[in-house]
Amino acid sequence: MNNLSKLGRKINQNVGPTFATYAPLLAAREAAIHSTRHETFQYGDDPRQALDVYYPKSNSSTGPKPVLMWIYGGGFTQGDKVLPGYANGTVYGNVGHFFATTLGFTVVVPNYRLVSDGGRFPSGGEDLALAIAWVRDCLTKQDGYGSINLFLMGNSAGGVHLATYLLHRQFNSSRESITKHTQHGVKLRAVIFLSVPFHFEQAPKDRAEALEGYFGGKDLMTPSPLGLLRSNKLDNAVVESGVKFSVWTGSLDPIDEILGPTADFQREWEGPSLQSFVLNGHNHMSPQLSLGTGITQEEEWGVEVGRFCEFSCP
């Protein structure tokens, strides 16, 4: 992490070198990462609608179980719950391993439809709604999971899908099922937006094909998280539901794609406080690759996420 500033801020320039930097660190921890117990389930009919569940070593505690859903990024065109061919298949199992083994979360990592799979807005929100329904209808049937505190963390394009689910009227019913007060079942407690492009007004030109492919045209503001926030301000109970919201950015995130749009989203936000966290020394790719390395400085942001989730529960 100490040398990431030399790679620059632009995602297309630093993605390869950043992955190369973390590959040996993760490969060295392959045995530990792969030792975390996990299972794969289908949450829908499409082949891409599958998810992995990573379990903590001990599941004997009483009270609601903390469940963290990690929605990865990939520019709407790529990504997988396990990235093939990189660091011996440790990503994104490293995320599940870290939060399960170190912090005691049960971690759910869903795949979702990409543009090449026919994914078109708001399919990311649709897939997320189905994955959450699986948690509500299936995970709660497992021993000890009758009551769940749910935390949703979306990274980059995954954060766009998370915002779609949270802000689009289409998902009102699904959101209500996890935000209304219930003694048992699933209760959404906190949302973590990690390095999310909240709009695309300053996106590099080479993003146009992927963005227009997913959003179905050149109007990218209306369906963006910022556009949805603006249009649904008066008709979105999730903002006033008691759920804790937060935005997390790397100090080396790009200004045009991430930091500027994040500031615009924060200015537009109304309702409960939208907490802000800066990951010093991290660029756009490094946070998700740093987990599971076993290096305290690298993993500190994940510990901070755990604290945020803990403090979000009554």
* 253-296 confidence digits (pLDDT tens): 999 999 999 999 999 997 667 999 999 999 999 999 999 999 99
Mean pLDDT score of the chain, rounded to an integer? 95
Cβ atoms of 295 and 162 within 8 Å: the answer is: no
**pLDDT band at residue 120 using 50, 70 and 90 as cut-offs:** very high
Backbone angles phi, psi at 273, to 5 degrees: -60, 135
Cβ atoms of 83 and 26 within 8 Å: the answer is: no
Q: Give me the pLDDT at residue 257, please.
A: 98
Cβ atoms of 279 and 249 within 8 Å: the answer is: yes
Cβ atoms of 277 and 223 within 8 Å: the answer is: no
- Tens of pLDDT along 18-37? 999 999 999 999 999 999 99
**pLDDT band at residue 244 using 50, 70 and 90 as cut-offs:** very high
Mean pLDDT of 126-141: 98
**pLDDT band at residue 53 using 50, 70 and 90 as cut-offs:** very high
The pLDDT > 70 percentage for the chain reads 96
Q: How far apart are CA 51 and CA 168, in angstroms?
A: 23
Q: How far apart are CA 138 and CA 120, in angstroms?
A: 27
pLDDT of 227 > 80? The answer is yes
pLDDT of 60 > 90? The answer is no
Largest Cα separation within the chain, whole Å, is: 51
Helices 172-179, 157-167: crossing angle, 10 deg rounding: 90
In DSSP notation, 51-68 reads EEEE--S-----SPEEEE
First to last CA, the chain: 35
pLDDT of 135 > 80? The answer is yes
Mean pLDDT of 48-75: 93
Mean pLDDT of 37-62: 93
Alpha-helical (H) ranges within the chain are 11-27, 30-35, 93-97, 123-137, 157-167, 172-179, 208-215, 225-231, 260-268, 286-290, 296-311
The reported pTM is: 0.97
Mean pLDDT of 195-211: 97
Q: What share of the chain is helix, strand, coil (3-state, %, to 5)?
A: 45, 15, 35
Q: Give me the pLDDT at residue 66, please.
A: 98
Q: Give me the pLDDT at residue 58, please.
A: 80
- Tens of pLDDT along 93-111? 999 999 999 999 999 999 9
Q: Give me the pLDDT at residue 62, please.
A: 79
pLDDT of 183 > 70? The answer is no
Cβ atoms of 127 and 49 within 8 Å: the answer is: yes
Q: How far apart are CA 32 and CA 27, in angstroms?
A: 10
Backbone angles phi, psi at 201, to 5 degrees: -65, -30
Domains of the chain: 4-311 (3.40.50.1820)
Bridge partner list, 149: 66, 187
Q: How far apart are CA 47 and CA 229, in angstroms?
A: 31
Q: Give me the pLDDT at residue 301, please.
A: 99
The pLDDT > 90 percentage for the chain reads 89
- Tens of pLDDT along 143-172? 999 999 999 999 999 999 999 999 999 999
If DSSP codes are grouped into helix, strand and coil, which group holds residue 50?
Answer: strand
195: burial class by Cβ within 10 Å (0-12, 13-18, 19+)? buried
